[in-house]
Structure 1
Amino acid sequence: MVPVVYRPEYLTYDFGPQHPFSPQRLAMLVELLEELDPAWGPVAAVQARREDVLTVHAERFVRRVEAASQGAPPDDLDEYGLGTSDTPVFPGMDAAARWLVGGTLTGARLVSGGTARRVLQLGGGLHHAQFDRASGFCVYNDLAVAIHHFLEAGMRVLYVDVDVHHGDGVQWIFYKDPRVLTLSLHESGRYLFPGTGGVFELGQGGGTGYSWNLPLEPYTGDACYLEGFERVFEKALAWFLPDVILVQAGADAHFLDPLADLMLTTRAYERIFTRILEGAEQYTEGRVLFTLGGGYSFDAAVRVWALLYFLLKEQRLPERLPEGWRSRWGQRLGQTLGAELHDTHGPPLVPRRPEIERYNRSNVDRLLDVVSKYLTPG
């Protein structure tokens, strides 16, 4: 059995109707899975406690989230990344964020306790949240809380982030810790928020060499992305020898996404997810926890995450998506939704292809060369 962790309370993490990080994406996904899989039956998430959040966040920050959630925001909210256009305050924000943290922590407990090898957390992936600051739609860092749990269980963690934005919050929280290898593939920070994630962000102190970043040029497509992913992922596994893999499965590198400029198709996502599962079988006895993340084309993100669901469960992919679901959500969103899980057409023609490939390959070579100075192959 592959547990899928979910609670309807996830939908309360809601910055408002105009905000791109909309809970409608998750509601849409859950309705689709309910219709496609008669055996749908998620494991109920347990809400994270305040003490769980404090394992990776500053007390002063948590106090301000709590106060803002109760309608009494302090004057210095902006110093903590709150009340911005990216991360506006809303009533009950603390409780809503702790539901998402709790879902990822529930999944981590299932894996560390031996109850399950593969787990899908149907939410979370709030990778930008910092030790003492909210950032980029992320209030609390559920991924960091899960990593802390794995470390307490004596497990070495390979964190893999395929969101189009750099996984900066997770990186900085564990920047000095050699028990965690963070691997982020993302559109280069020269063009995209949060502006970090360069090859030479390698870690500090004992953690030097355990922060891996592969920044990619805008308009990077399937073949070039997968070439780089295969090389760095295999080296990370072989060098680090993790006990568990934690994956932030953001879907915003898809070519339909409105907030970024990578050009992946669902075929590339299928290969990425399959390769991670293969790596887990080879190196971690199958232990892997997936979360969701960014993804702002409702059509593309929901199809990518449904694809992940069926791959994890090793079920045959549905040939077509339910017409009733497509019609219902298409009317709500005012758009025509894809009829199949996989894209039925590819991205637009990509400009500057030779330059893109040369830049990306040089970054792969540079990354593997520099980290080889710090890590001993397993």
Structure 2
Amino acid sequence: MISIVYHPDYLKYCFGPEHPFSPLRLEMLWTLLEALGDRPTPCQPAAASRNEVLQVHTEAYVARVEAASQGEAVLDARAFGLDTPDVPIFLDMDYATRLQVGGTLCGARLIAEGQARMVLQLGGGFHHAHPNRAAGFCIYNDLSIAIRALTRAGLRIAYIDLDVHHADGVQAIHYHEDTVLTISLHETGQYLFPGTGAINEIGEGRGQGFSLNLPLQPFTEDESYLEVFERVVPHALTMFQPDVLVVQCGADAHFQDPLADLLLTTHAYEQLFRRLKALADEHTGGRALFTLGGGYDFDATVRVWTLLYLILQDRPLLERLPSSWRLDWEQRLEHPLTPTLHDHKRPLSVTPTRRAQIALQNLRTAQRLIETVTRYWYGIA
């Protein structure tokens, strides 16, 4: 059994009805778990304190978020990444964000204090937030705030990011640290926000060799993605010897997602989640903190996160979703949903020749990355 962290007020993290980062994803997930008869009794976190947020973010930035949260005019808001199409201002945004930060911190503390080994935080994953600015739908970086709490408890952290977008905020915050290994698998920044995450971004100073990026080609499919994962992640964990895994489980690499171009299916996600669980058992005695993240096709995202929940809970995977739940949400969303937990259709695929080219490019990327960083790993204890 794992510990679940969730609060109904997570739904208050809302940029408006037309924004792709919608709280409806969490509402759909929670009601699906209810319909499955498997709704957990979660740990309901308190909002992170201001001082906890300041462990990662600057005073000037937090002050702007607080002012905007109260409806005050912030003339330089855009200099701090606020009041933009990606991060529009909404009332009480400071509380809504600190609550989700509090959830990820709650999971970290449960692990650090020995009260839980594996934790699933049904929220968070705000990996684009930087110390002094918001970005990419992210206001405060819950992941780095939790990682900072774990490293201050004397623990070595391996951070693994499955979101289709590069984990630029988490990487930047820990770029000079040798107690945090960051691994990001993402669509190459040549084509996708935030435009970073090349293989030569490997860390600086004491952190050199501890930032690993796998920029993948558009239209990467399951087999290539899983091959690259296996080439890099287990080897990196063996070399780094972490005490805890922190995993961001964005669902936007799925082929239905409208904001990116990778072509993963739910079958790939099932394999990834089972593999991560096994890697945690192998390298950290099962200590791992999982969060959610991106995912902008409601149908695909909720099914991916339900897979995550069931796999981490060691529950059997159902074949079909409850019809009452599906019909209710089809009426609310005004479009059909997939009736099965796994994908009901296959992605539009590239030609066999192009698929082979993509797989070869991805494999070469993984090989170059390993060659680049291996020399920095000697002497890790």
TM-score by length of 1: 0.99
Distance 2:174 2:228 in 1: 24
Distance 1:181 1:41 in 2: 32
Shift of 1:342: 0.8
Task: Give the aligned partner of residue 98 of structure 1.
Answer: 98
Task: Give the aligned partner of residue 234 of structure 1.
Answer: 234
Task: Give the aligned partner of residue 156 of structure 1.
Answer: 156
Q: 1:208 to 1:344 in 2, by over 3 A?
A: same
Query: Letter of the aligned partner of 2:19 in structure 1?
Result: H
Task: Give the aligned partner of residue 185 of structure 1.
Answer: 185
- How many residues are paired up? 378
Is the contact made by 1:36 and 1:318 (CA closer than 8 Å) also made in structure 2? no
Task: Give the aligned partner of residue 373 of structure 1.
Answer: 375
Is the contact made by 2:319 and 2:342 (CA closer than 8 Å) also made in structure 1? no
- Alignment deviations for residues 171-198 of structure 1 (CA, whole Å, 9 cap, x no partner): 0000000000000000000000000000
Task: Give the aligned partner of residue 225 of structure 1.
Answer: 225
Query: Letter of the aligned partner of 2:174 in structure 1?
Result: F
Distance 1:73 1:230 in 2: 49
Task: Give the aligned partner of residue 254 of structure 1.
Answer: 254
Query: Letter of the aligned partner of 2:287 in structure 1?
Result: R
After TM superposition, the structure 1 stretch with the greater mean CA deviation from structure 2, 115-124 or 334-343, is 334-343
The residue correspondences of 1:66-81 to structure 2 (distance < 5 A) are: 66-81=66-81
Equivalent of 1:360 in 346, 359, 362? 362
Query: Letter of the aligned partner of 1:367 in structure 2?
Result: L
After TM superposition, the structure 1 stretch with the greater mean CA deviation from structure 2, 189-198 or 335-344, is 335-344
Query: Letter of the aligned partner of 1:359 in structure 2?
Result: Q
- Alignment deviations for residues 238-297 of structure 1 (CA, whole Å, 9 cap, x no partner): 110000000000000000000000000011001111111111101101000000000000
Query: Letter of the aligned partner of 1:313 in structure 2?
Result: Q
Is the contact made by 1:201 and 1:213 (CA closer than 8 Å) also made in structure 2? yes
Task: Give the aligned partner of residue 316 of structure 1.
Answer: 316
Is the contact made by 1:245 and 1:280 (CA closer than 8 Å) also made in structure 2? yes
- Percent identity between matched residues is 56
Does residue 350 of the first structure (1) align with residue 350 of the second (2)?
Answer: yes
Is the contact made by 2:175 and 2:211 (CA closer than 8 Å) also made in structure 1? yes
- Alignment deviations for residues 39-76 of structure 1 (CA, whole Å, 9 cap, x no partner): 52111122111111000000100000000000113210
Unaligned runs of 5+ in 2: none
Shift of 1:355: 1.7
Task: Give the aligned partner of residue 65 of structure 1.
Answer: 65
Unaligned runs of 5+ in 1: none
Shift of 1:37: 3.1
Task: Give the aligned partner of residue 7 of structure 1.
Answer: 7
Shift of 1:332: 1.2
TM-score by length of 2: 0.98
The residue correspondences of 1:254-293 to structure 2 (distance < 5 A) are: 254-293=254-293
Task: Give the aligned partner of residue 145 of structure 1.
Answer: 145
Distance 1:130 1:363 in 2: 26
Return structure 1 stretches of 4+ with deviation > 3 angstroms: none
CA RMSD for the aligned pairs? 0.9
Does residue 111 of the first structure (1) align with residue 111 of the second (2)?
Answer: yes
Is the contact made by 2:30 and 2:39 (CA closer than 8 Å) also made in structure 1? no
SS in 2 for 1:206: helix
Distance 2:350 2:165 in 1: 20
